[in-house]
Structure 1
Amino acid sequence: MKRYPLLICLLIGATLALNLSASDADTRSSGRLLPDKEATATLADRDGGSFGMVWSRRQSSPPPGRYWCPGTGVVRDTIYFLGGRVDYGGGNTNSTRTIWAYVPATNSWITTGLPTLLVPRRAGGGGRIGNKIYVAGGRDSTHTTLNTCEEFDVDTKTVTQKAPMPGAGCWACASAVAGDKLYIIGDENNSGNTYEYDPAANQWYTKASLPAGRGWAAAAGAQGRVYVFGGSDAAGNTLSDCWEFNPANNTWTQKAAMPGPRIYHSAVTYNDTLIFVIGGADDGAAYADSLVYCYHVPSNTWRVMTPMPTSRGWLMANQVGDAIYASLGSDCSTPTYLTVNEQARFLQHDVGVARLSPANRTPPNQQAVFKMLVRNYGENTEDFTVRMVVYDSIAGNNVIEEEKPVTGLGPADSLWVVFDSLTPASGNVYLVTASVSLTGDENPLNDTLRTRVEVRMGSDPDGFGYIYETTQEPGDTVRFFWIDPTAGTPVTDWSPNADDGYSVRSLPFTFRYYDQYLNTINICTNGFLETSTLTSFSNTSFPTAITNHIAGWWDDLDLRSAGTVYQYNDPAGQYVVFAWVNVPRYNAPAETQTFEIALYRNGVIRYNYLSMNGTLNSNTVGIQGLDGSSNWYHQYVYNGVPAHHTVDDSVAIIFYYPPYLGTEETTTPEVRNSRLPTIFAGHELEVPAEFHRGRITICDVSGSVLNAVNGARRLNLQQLPFGVYLIRLENGTDTATWKLIRMK
């Protein structure tokens, strides 16, 4: 019986929110647990976190590199790779007949003394059954689709022709072994065809079709069943769904979806309990990435794991002992032919720092409690020490320096360790270093985590000066409230249709947006506003090709059969709302979204999310001025990154340019610079002569007035904390707004 690493089998283990701060004894004694959702919403994760997998590079294969091996498998702790596509040099890239092997124990490759396949073959299906490895389908060196099947006997080192597949065969299919039978699912035509090969009878059988056809999926067998992940459907959509095939009753059942869409990926079963989905891309036209997802079969749940060191797809994945090997592959775009070979291990002794709070920013004049989330990634209960140092970069000294013990932290458990608190002034900057110390720790890479914390409201400004606030960041003042749009006008004049269409809408007031004054806006079915007429259903990261892109929830939405989009004009004339109400994602009628974009007379943009269902990490949220050049954009979230910005129910986000707040609507735009000048000052600021008799207003970056004076040649800044501010100068005729950075 195989031993399952405790960390991995406890993927659903609760995060223990215990408090070690003596100043918070009432919370500690009550045993109150902080909900994991709260922690996720307010804290920054370790970038690329450890999450139990530690990757290392092993010996690369000899050239030429290869990908699309139709068959791979492990026999007596040796990994075999059958066929694939290789680069022979001189522009000659084609299918191969060769069989190679990798021996993890000696970290060496075997490229001689092995037989070859009967025909060159790539992108088919295959798998190991006993001491034999099977390949079927694929394409040969003339790009002909194959229906033949071959058996490689590892013991006798022979290759034998077996019974052919039904029909004309397939390629771009997924394959897996379950119950000593080989299953091949889907194909280049995005069908749901499912075939079973029984080597004992040397016979193929046609089974129940996968309900949602696809190509370029991945599959793996576990606990006697077959699991199929992602791929591409007939419309070209990259899928995130997961399906289970039960050979005993010949039925398919849809399971929990992956954390994100996948194509050109691979899947490997670990100890018959976990399935790792490795590499690939989130779009068929994109370069491959290094993402790794883990599916826990008994609980039907997913977790994001440590990414591979090398981004790639079309790779081969296998388990040997307690390690996963990801071998060969391609960037899926150029394409490259890789010789890369990487190993992921699961450690006995490994604790690390997973999160820090506060991270990146914290609001001024409010108590900030400094804490760290430590996690046990190993397989043993651990006692260790933790340490936090908070350095005030303006004062030039440590304001917190503490060490605490942690005892009895079990495998897969997490613990919040609370240190001292501060009430910082606006403009302060803290450098936070948190670390753990465990005797015998096998992975030092996650032992230390650092963050820079600025004391301010709102995000960093973009290139123009827009900032955002959100209910998903600690201390931001924005609150969620829903504006009922149903008394407004349903939008029905979509061009060309209600799937991927747009409608030109008049605004009830002139809306200031970046350096423009807008009287009309175009609304797209796919969850955004714009001044162009693009209707792309495939979301990308910012900057985008969509001019003046106001992306409330850019995803592939479909209004043809359900849902309504409304325009609601405030009777008082202060705002206009564009709302998507119960609008489903394409080909997913149960995944309905209800959200709205509100444009305010003073230039504020508000996103409200009332009810978000289904796939929440396949969208783009943010704003962009014009074409996004000069960094005129804010990307709030893209396909679930950063994780704590994944939008869900009752989330609100506002975007605004502080100098526009409180200004009157202008019907004739004044001529002004579109870039906000930046000035640097120490203890004193000299005022330009034309404003000596005018009014000078100093605001923080959220637009809140800190001080205002009338008639001054110089401003004494000594009482102003070091940091970033906005300064507005007026003389009755001219107005100027600067970004002021007060330095030491």
Structure 2
Amino acid sequence: MAEVSADDISLINNNSGPFILLSAKTVLDSPPGGNNNGRFDPGESGGLILALRNIGNQGVDNVTALLRSTDSRFIITDSTTSYGSIPVCSTRTNTADPFRIQVDPSIPKETPVQLLLLINGNGYCDTLRFRLVVGEIVQTDPVPDGPRQPPLYWAYDDIDTSYTQHPEFSWVEINNLGTRLDLSDDQTVVLDLPFTWQFYGEYYSQISICSNGWVAPGYTTSTVYYNYPLPSTTLPGAVCANWDDLYPPIGNGVWYYHDAPNHRFIIEWDSVHYIGSNLWERFEIIIYDQTVPTPTGDNQIVVQYLTANSYSSSTVGIQDPSQSIAIQCLYDGTYNNGSAPIVPGRAIKYVTGTPTAIRESNEPVKLPARFYAFPNPGRGLIHFVTEIGTAGSISIFDRTGRLVTTIQPTSRTWDGRDATGKPVSPGVYFCRLKTVSGPELEAKLIVTR
């Protein structure tokens, strides 16, 4: 269990007197539903405790809360709870009755999920907006482009073996097959491509190759050698294999080759030295044609590293033509959490499409069937909704476990009365749906005055 301080909180409205804010969030992700790291990860289920603090000048009684998610992959299976009374300068939590969460396995790590907390009390009504970030990218995960949601491109390196898109290092030597470019210091040449290069949804028939370890789709006269973090307005849309101040006249130069049988265009920096240094590198950029399919049609790109003598002052990654979206794998010796260090034999693939995890089992992940009541909190006529095609009766119990009433399969509404026809008291009630096949489903309902 880990406690996280509240962030990204905004008040949609508030009333005079009581003033309730979200002061802390605690994720309960103990096994078997979670891994006990204090956050929600893809595929996990667990509880969520929210602490509410009243910083107003008046207390509020009978406080209830309803949690809503704006992301269908972040499923709230128990969305209601009760806080009781919250006096002035006091904090209350739902520790005894946490919200219950199920995270879809398909949601990418480090996805921010916006949540709404609807608060009701005697004479008080407010909505708080906050967010939770699902998962954390580690070295064996792909890196998404950003800042935006959802990502378009992802960077996979060869150790991301839990994903079907990961590359395998396979060096392609072209210095005896291709054409050597007569590149001097800080020079860019423009070539016609043998196929169309689709990059971030735009189409290019040319490629610009810079001596300083990067290529750009289309035509550019930029020769920028001083590297910056990505995205950068100093650089056009580009693929940066090793953006640094390189000097091709020392070494074996820069080469290009169209490998038509294997549907790819290759650019190799062969033993090119860093300016004013005895250190050098061999690396290559491979752009596949559109016969190698991707989900969006954008060409697949693979960068390979045969040496790793000095990447301490380089920028590695890609950025889009607008210079506002990028993947930064490396900048001046600092790696992205999802990027493996560059070593001899490293490969990085840049490709579009949602990451596909390799499962240990072929069985699909089953998410819980949904059963809920609305309005909730509510009073008067309550409606029940279920995704079960054929369902049985609904039994309603109070907090002590006493059966209040039973709703027959022909009805999906409740008028808030017990079996004798008497209106029930405000409070928390538990609704149990008996299904014809499968487990019983439960929903929690708060009845207000």
TM-score (norm 1): 0.29
Structure number having the greater helix percentage: 1
Which structure exhibits the higher relative contact order, with contacts defined as CA atoms closer than 8 Å and separated by 6 or more residues?
A: 2
TM-score (norm 2): 0.46
